[in-house]
Chains A and B, each alone.
Chain A
Amino acid sequence: MLNFILLIIIYIGIYAIAGIGLNLIVGYTGLLSLCQAAFIAIGAYTTAIFMTALHFGFFEAMLLSGLVAAIFGILIGIPTLRLKGDYLAIATLGFGEIVKNIIVNWDSVTKGPMGINGIPGPQAFGITFSAIDKVPWAVLIWAILALCYYFVRRIVRSRIGRALEAIREDEIAASAMGINTAKYKIGAFTTGAFMAGIAGSLFAAYNQSVAPLTFDFMMSIMILCMAVLGGLGNNFATVVGVIIIVIASEIPRLVGISHIIPPQINQVIFGLILVLMMIYRPQGIIGRVKLNYAKIIKEEILHLER
């Protein structure tokens, strides 16, 4: 039972890291990205390959995973800069499929559809992380989540965050106000991808294995659902969304009825969440924090006077 709760806590942590990253892209900047799973896959495979084939330590591999995912974030970000909402969604979806196809077909590096097994548990702070003892994992993952949360919170409460929100509300108006929309859009994409890469790295190291089919389109949709359910454009709400969806999808296993519930039911529920939330409560169950513009302007003036 305790193990089960720890498992849920660990998964909440991993998905929350990826979810906050996605929220920065979709919620704050208004770019619909459907390839968060691809960035997670890139992170997971980077960790898997560097830890098994090249014997890197976990923390180096994790940072590297984030960076590789971020580089791919830039790569997909640049051509998609010209794209508005719907086109971007399709292009990112396509990117996700391409990543999955390449992973499945690039046997010599990724071991194809079988995936990579036997990723060693990290060793740090005098503790060996293993599959048996989940407590260190939970602490580590939530510590990283806290870092990411704080980092994104700093971003979105700064000039950068306001620029992102301006782009979301009206890109033309934003660029007329002198915001370099290309820079901020790529920035948001890259940061979101970096966090997905970190999440993927943790995912691979915790499970000690990766398989390409884990990171399919449905995983991107699930993370999107988490952000939508909590409330787009609000990090706290995204974490709440993650908690609700992870717990809800693990409850059948806890009660012991998972074998009679077909896996499709979960996904039908994700679909229903998207449709119903959009129609009845597009701001999510928690909603979005309204910016206090009077306060911001006062701060900016103080800043200028200094």
Chain B
Amino acid sequence: MNLFNLPHTELLQHLINGLTLGAIYSLIALGYTMVYGILKFINFAHGEILMLGAYAGYFLYYFLCEGSQTGGFAIIAFVISLIVAMLISSFLGVIIERIAYRPLRKAPRLAPLLSAIGVSIILMNLAALFFGTKSRKFDYPFDNTALQLGNISVTPNQIMILIVGIILMASLKLFIDKTRLGKAMRATSQNQAVASLMGINVNFIISLTFAIGSALAAVAGIFMSMEFKLYPTMGQMAGLKAFIAAVVGGIGNISGAMLGGILLGLLETFGVVIIGIPQGLKDTIAFSVLIIILLFRPSGLLMKNIREKV
């Protein structure tokens, strides 16, 4: 099939599916990019924070309304679970940074990276141990029958993901660009030593960064377990792809992470329907994108190319 033979409605349909997927990637990518911007290392455990956040939301939601309910109460329960899951994830992110990354802040680059991989493996396997390896499905708190807009069908869940995603990303952007704390965060990412001379509590800012990134990951995790499935290794592939999205946009750049996430979501969706990449090889798309970007524009779409100097 080729792009020009596709009917417009079908194209729009894939566009919406791609945007939904992209919004989820963007939410995760923000966590990577913020941490990378400040600490210059990949938080490999970010995907696992996402997974644990999703489990926290799942269990709380079923505790609150014992499943199968829809209607007003279920929606309130869902909102409460979402917020509590964000808090739990933030807490987890901060704790992980304290235990596994902070002691290594002055160590060679390889050390925090290996430590992060270690944390990721520990969390993934503990989750498998305690929650089982079977996949679960987060039931929709609302009626999820697709709405027909012309010839396109959009599920309420997709609409929610897009709206919540946009609100969260816009408020993060505002927070970083307009508030004092956001300014402190930008200063810390430019130069920690100077930032701390200006009276910024660098440790607090780093914890805050982990907290915000992890909270966004929890939201993405819950969305993923509604749209797809919930299982202990869900964070691995999602995390990798979101990281790729962050690299595509230009790692360390907030708008870049959003753009990269959306682009990757679209590429994956259209890669399967238009180019005809088999489903089994869908994950290869993201990695090919990564290698291409790193070859031709290693600092990402939205960042200037800077040569490293001594």
Contact = CB atoms under 8 A, between A and B. Distances in A.
Contacts of B244: 90, 94
Contacts of B100: 275, 279
B298 A85 contact: no
Contacts of B286: 94
B160 interface: no
B122 A271 contact: yes
A114 interface: no
- Classify the interface of chain B: helix, strand, loop or mixed: helix
A143 interface: no
A86 B107 CA distance: 15
B120 A271 contact: yes
B294 A94 contact: no
Interface stretch (B110-118, B144-152, B182-190): B110-118
Given A87-B247, A90-B290, A94-B291, A268 B125 contact: yes
B70 interface: no
A232 B113 CA distance: 14
B104 A86 contact: no
A172 B291 contact: no
Contacts of B128: 264
A268 B122 contact: yes
Nearest to B291: A79
Given A86-B42, A90-B42, A271-B120, A279 B280 contact: no
Contacts of B124: 267
Contact of B287 (A32, A95, A173, A277): A95
Given A274-B114, A279-B103, A268 B280 contact: no
A278 B125 CA distance: 20
A90 B121 contact: no
A83 B109 CA distance: 13
Interface of B: 36, 41-42, 99-100, 103-104, 107-115, 117-126, 128-129, 236-237, 240, 243-244, 247, 278, 280-281, 283-284, 286-287, 290-291, 294-295, 298, 308, 310
Contacts of A221: 117, 121
A262 B129 contact: yes
A32 B310 CA distance: 22
A49 to B, nearest CB: 20
Query: Which are the 9 A-B pairs with shortest beta-carbon distances?
Result: A274-B118, A94-B287, A271-B122, A271-B121, A275-B118, A264-B125, A278-B115, A105-B280, A271-B118
Interface stretch (A96-104, A181-189, A241-249, A298-306): A96-104
A279 B291 CA distance: 32
B111 A268 contact: no
Contacts of B103: 279
Interface of A: 26, 30, 32, 34, 79-80, 82-87, 89-91, 93-95, 97-98, 101-102, 104-105, 172-173, 217-218, 221, 224, 228, 232, 262, 264-265, 267-268, 270-275, 277-279, 282
Contacts of A86: 36, 41-42, 109, 113
Contacts of A264: 125-126, 128-129
B250 to A, nearest CB: 13
B118 to A, nearest CB: 3
B105 to A, nearest CB: 11
Contacts of A32: 110, 113-114
Contact of B42 (A89, A94, A275): A89
